[in-house]
Structure 1
Amino acid sequence: MKTVLIPTDFNENSVYLSENILKNFKDEPIRILFFHAYKLTDSISDLLMLSRRSTEYGQIPESFHRACYDFKKTHQAQIDTIGVEYFYGSTMAAFRNFAEANEVDFIYCPETYSFRQISKYSINPDVFLNKSGIPILQVIQEDEAPVKIKKAIVLEHEAAQLV
């Protein structure tokens, strides 16, 4: 099973746009993980209560939950789970730890996705996504081969240095 990380502002359209990636995984169930990035606060009391924060979960509209439920039900043969996670941090190391902890295999960022801040602590994840070294899925057109993956340039440079 592969895990696909998808940035979102919790608009139900991001769920429907993720249908395009199912063509890449015809023979394998996938786990879809929607996420939103937040910078860490400077307040010590906020940091102590970080694990108990529920305000972020309150920002997810019911329409997003409904869209996830319907999407999983419609594609239950291909989708193992759909989840929501928050990334708290502002460094590449923190993002890599987040991706490793969630066993992310691929990143999918729909062409129509544009970052929308949903909180004063929201940050644009584009830098993390593009420099992480995690393969980025591209949408497959009907006449293309089953899998088309764009590898991040960072990965190629790291492999060249190891040889």
Structure 2
Amino acid sequence: MIQRVLVPTDFTVNSLRIVLEYLENNNDEQVELVLVYGYKLGESISMLLGFTLDDHLAEMQNDDFLKGCEIIKSRFKDKVVEMYADCMISKNTRYVRNYLKGRQFTQIVLPDAFEFQNVEHTFDVVELLRTQPLPLPQVIPVAMGEDEMSRHDTLDSFFFRKKWRFSYE
């Protein structure tokens, strides 16, 4: 059975460490990774009418982040069936419950210590999921010990020093 896994992100290369820690410590089960970002949609009518998820995600994901995702998919091609991004657009308890239920997540990855970039109109998905009084799918804690890699947010310093052998497909 393929597991659908929610992984929090802020669309930085550094946040892909969460995905790597999960995949490296995961059994050999196949997963569909959904990289989830918290975005406060706002209340203005122009914001509500002008918001499209695809346009917003295209704006938020830079080339290094997308290349990092491709490297991960290539490196873990036996485990990762699908990997894509999504936005959680409200902190409302009903919305969060419906979001988790509707997308049928089987696992949620929660890093123990990770500082997401605080950008205007965003919120921390990890903190939200930790404080929600909801029954959550299986929670997978990921230890994110602070090391030298955590201070780098570039593709070369992050991936290529791991000495992986991979190919672009």
CA deviations on 1:59-103 (whole Å, 9 max, x unpaired) are 211111001101011110011011100111120111122222222
TM-score (norm 2): 0.72
Say which SS state the counterpart of residue 43 (structure 2) adopts.
coil
Equivalences for residues 12-31 of structure 1 within 5 A: 12-22=13-23, 23-26=25-28, 28-31=29-32
Equivalences for residues 19-58 of structure 1 within 5 A: 19-22=20-23, 23-26=25-28, 28-51=29-52, 54-58=55-59
Give, in whole Å, the separation in 1 of the partners of 2:5 and 2:105.
6
Give, in whole Å, the separation in 2 of the partners of 1:31 and 1:72.
11
Task: Tell me what 1:144 maps to.
Answer: none
Give, in whole Å, the separation in 2 of the partners of 1:17 and 1:7.
8
Note closer, same or farther for the CA distance 1:124–1:16 as it changes in structure 2 (3 Å cut). closer
Residue identity opposite 2:110 in structure 1: C
Residue identity opposite 1:70 in structure 2: I
Task: Tell me what 1:63 maps to.
Answer: 64
Q: CA RMSD in A?
A: 2.0
Q: Does structure 2 retain, via aligned residues, the 8 Å contact 1:4–1:105?
A: yes
User: Which portions of structure 1, spanning 4 or more consecutive aligned residues, are displaced by more than 4 angstroms?
Assistant: none
Residue identity opposite 1:4 in structure 2: V
Give, in whole Å, the separation in 1 of the partners of 2:139 and 2:53.
32
TM-score (norm 1): 0.74
Unaligned runs of 5+ in 2: 144-169
Say which SS state the counterpart of residue 58 (structure 1) adopts.
helix
Task: Tell me what 2:141 maps to.
Answer: 138
Say which SS state the counterpart of residue 113 (structure 1) adopts.
coil
1:123, CA displacement in angstroms? 1.4
1:125 aligns with 2:125: yes
Q: Does structure 1 retain, via aligned residues, the 8 Å contact 2:18–2:142?
A: no
Give, in whole Å, the separation in 2 of the partners of 1:14 and 1:129.
17
Say which SS state the counterpart of residue 126 (structure 1) adopts.
helix
Q: What is the number of residues matched between the two proteins?
A: 138
Say which SS state the counterpart of residue 12 (structure 1) adopts.
coil
Unaligned runs of 5+ in 1: 141-163
Q: Does structure 1 retain, via aligned residues, the 8 Å contact 2:110–2:126?
A: no
Give, in whole Å, the separation in 1 of the partners of 2:95 and 2:30.
28
Residue identity opposite 1:133 in structure 2: P
% same residue: 21
Give, in whole Å, the separation in 1 of the partners of 2:53 and 2:6.
23
Give, in whole Å, the separation in 2 of the partners of 1:38 and 1:106.
21
